[in-house]
A and B are shown apart, each in its own frame.
Chain A
Amino acid sequence: MREVSVTRLSAAIRDAVILANTVMTPDIQRRLEEAQNQETGPVARAVIADLLENAAIAQAEHIPMCQDTGLVVVYLTFGQDVHWVDGEVEAAINDGIRQGYREGYLRFSVVADPLRRVNTRDNTPAIVHYRLTPGEGVHVDILPKGFGAENRSRLAMLKPSDGQAGAEQFILESVRVAGPQACPPFIVGVGIGGDFERVAELAKEALLEPLDTPNPDPYLADMESRLTDAINAMGIGPQGFGGRTTLLGLRIKVGATHIAGLPVAVNMSCHSTRHLAFDL
C-alpha cells in the first residue's frame, strides 16, 4: 500500500489548470503548422497565423489562449493499493482548481445551478471521473472544456441496422451542424457503444488521445481517416470563413453495448482543446 497526500493532488491540479490554459499542446501546434502550409486562401491563412501567434503570446505572457478557460473535467485514475491521506480527494481537487483559477487569472465560468445561474466565483465544482487500476500508481488527466464547442455536441441512439454507415452519417451531420460557432478547426471526440451515459463519456475520453498517435485498432483508424477527409472536404475552414482545414483531429472510442443498441456521441472541441496529464 502507498500513502498519497491529497495536498499533493491539490497543488498539482492548481499548476496544471494554469499550464493547460496558457500553453498549447505540441500535437495541436504541429497540426496548425501543417495546416498553415496546406491552406492557400488568404482568409484561412490569416486565421491560422492568428491562432499560432495567439498561442505564442499566451505562452510568453502567461495569459489564457482563450478567455473561456472552461469547466474543468478531471479523470483521476489510481491504483487500488493507494491510500489517500490528509483529507477528502474531491475537496482537494476543487481546492486546486479554486487556487489555480484565482492565481492564474483564469475566468470563473461556472454557475451553481443551470436555471438560477449564480456564478460560484471560483470555477468549482469540477466534473470528476474516478477509475481504479491495479497497483499503486496515480494518473491525472485534466480537460478544462470551453462551451463554444461543447454546446454544439450531439448524441443519438441509433439502431443496430444503421451500422457503420449510419454512425458515420450521424458524425458527419453533427460536425456540419456544429458550424462556425464551435470554433473550427475542430478536434472531434466520437463515442460509439455503451449506453446513453457511457457513450458521452467515451466521446469525451476520445479527446484525451494525442492527435499524432494513430488509433491502435486498424478498423477504427480507417474509419477516422475517411471521416477526416469527408469533414475537411466540407469547406467550412478555419472559423467557418472557408478553407481546407475544418478538422485538426478526430478520434473514435468504442465500448460494449446492448444487442438492441448503437449509441453514438459526438463531442465537439476546438483548436484550443486543453488537455494535460501527469502522474503523482
Chain B
Amino acid sequence: MGQVSPRAALRLPLDAARVARLRAGDQVALTGPVLGARDAAHQRMRDLLAAGKPLPFEIAGETIYYVGPSPAQPGQVIGSAGPTSSYRMDAFTPELLALGLRGMIGKGRRSRDVTRAIQSHQAVYFGAVGGAGALLARRIRKQEPVAWDDLGAEAVVRLWLKAFPAVVINDVYGGDLYDNVMGADGAGAVDE
C-alpha cells in the first residue's frame, strides 16, 4: 500500500512568484483569504463589467473558490463547503484573469480558453475534493459577507482558509493534471 503524500503549505494571497513555484499535480495546503463565488455571482460580475461599472470588490490578486456552501448551523463558521464544477464559470474567467485574478479553486476541467489565459496571466487553478464539503468546512476558519446577499447560497463571501487541501490542476507552464492522467481530449473535455 502507498502512502498518503504530504501537502506543501502555500500562503494566500498568491503572487507571480508563488504561482511560478507550482506544478500540475502538486498537493498543497492553502492558508489565507479567498473569495467564494459561483454561477450567479459571475454573471453579475460580467454584467457590471459590460456596463463599464466597477465591481463591489477588488479582483486583482484574488483567489476565487467556486463554492455555494450549505447554511451554517448556530456556532459553526460555515456549512458544508466543497467545490462546485468549474467549467460553468469558464465563460466569465478569461476576463477576470485579465483583471488580475490570480487563483481559482474548483473541480473538473476548464476550457482551452481558460487554460491558455491561466498561462498568459500567470495564474493557477487548483482542484479540491468534490463531495468532501464537511471535511473542507473544517479548513475554513472565518466567513464574512462581501456582496449580493440576495443571491443566498450564491452570494459573494470572504473565506479564510487554514491548511485547505488542494491539488494543482493547471500551472503557468501549460501543465494540466487531467491531461497528464487522461490525455488532452480525454475524459471530461469541456470544449464542444
On A, residues with C-beta under 8 Å from B are 37, 39-43, 45-47, 49-51, 53-55, 57-58, 61-69, 105-109, 117, 119, 121, 146, 148, 151-152, 176-183, 234-237, 239-242, 270-272
Contact = CB atoms under 8 A, between A and B. Distances in A.
Nearest to A176: B187
A40 B80 CA distance: 29
B8 interface: no
Closest 3 CB pairs of A and B: A179-B188, A181-B108, A42-B5
Nearest to A179: B188
Contacts of A57: 134-135, 138
B107 interface: yes
Interface string B131-155: 1111111100000000000001100
Given A105-B79, A119-B152, A235-B181, A181 B68 contact: no
* Best-buried of A41, A57, A235 by chain B (most CB within 10 Å): A57
B48 interface: no
Interface residues of B, number: 52
A181 B107 contact: yes
Interface stretch (B12-20, B51-59, B81-89, B115-123): B81-89
B69 A236 contact: no
Given A54-B133, A105-B71, A148 B107 contact: yes
B101 interface: no
Contacts of A40: 1-2
Contacts of B135: 50, 53-54, 57
B77 to A, nearest CB: 11
A236 B167 CA distance: 15
Contacts of B86: 181
A243 B192 CA distance: 26
Interface of B: 1-5, 25, 27, 40, 67-73, 76, 79-82, 84-87, 107-109, 127, 129-138, 152-153, 165, 167, 177-178, 180-182, 186-190
* Best-buried of A53, A69, A146, A148 by chain B (most CB within 10 Å): A148
21 contacts: A42-B3, A45-B1, A45-B3, A46-B4, A50-B129, A50-B165, A62-B73, A63-B80, A65-B80, A65-B133, A66-B133, A105-B71, A117-B40, A152-B188, A176-B187, A179-B108, A179-B109, A181-B87, A239-B127, A239-B130, A241-B127
Given A43-B167, A179-B178, A234 B130 contact: no
Given A65-B134, A181-B107, A241 B79 contact: no
B18 to A, nearest CB: 22
B3 A61 contact: no
Contact of A66 (B5, B82, B138, B186): B82
Contacts of A54: 129, 131-136
Instruction: Identify whether the interface residues of B are mostly helix, strand, loop, or mixed.
Output: loop
A149 to B, nearest CB: 9
A272 B133 CA distance: 11
A34 to B, nearest CB: 13
A148 B130 contact: yes
A177 B187 contact: yes
Given A64-B79, A236-B187, A179 B182 contact: yes
Nearest to B137: A63
Given A41-B2, A69-B70, A107-B153, A240 B187 contact: yes
Contacts of B73: 62-63, 105
Given A181-B108, A234-B187, A240-B182, A67 B80 contact: yes
B1 A183 contact: no
Given A37-B1, A151-B85, A272-B131, 7 more contacts: A54-B135, A148-B107, A148-B108, A180-B188, A181-B109, A234-B187, A239-B127
B3 to A, nearest CB: 6
Given A63-B76, A105-B70, A182 B188 contact: yes
Given A148-B107, A180-B187, A181-B86, A239 B129 contact: yes
B131 A65 contact: yes
* Best-buried of B72, B165, B188, B190 by chain A (most CB within 10 Å): B188
Contacts of B82: 66-68
Nearest to B127: A239
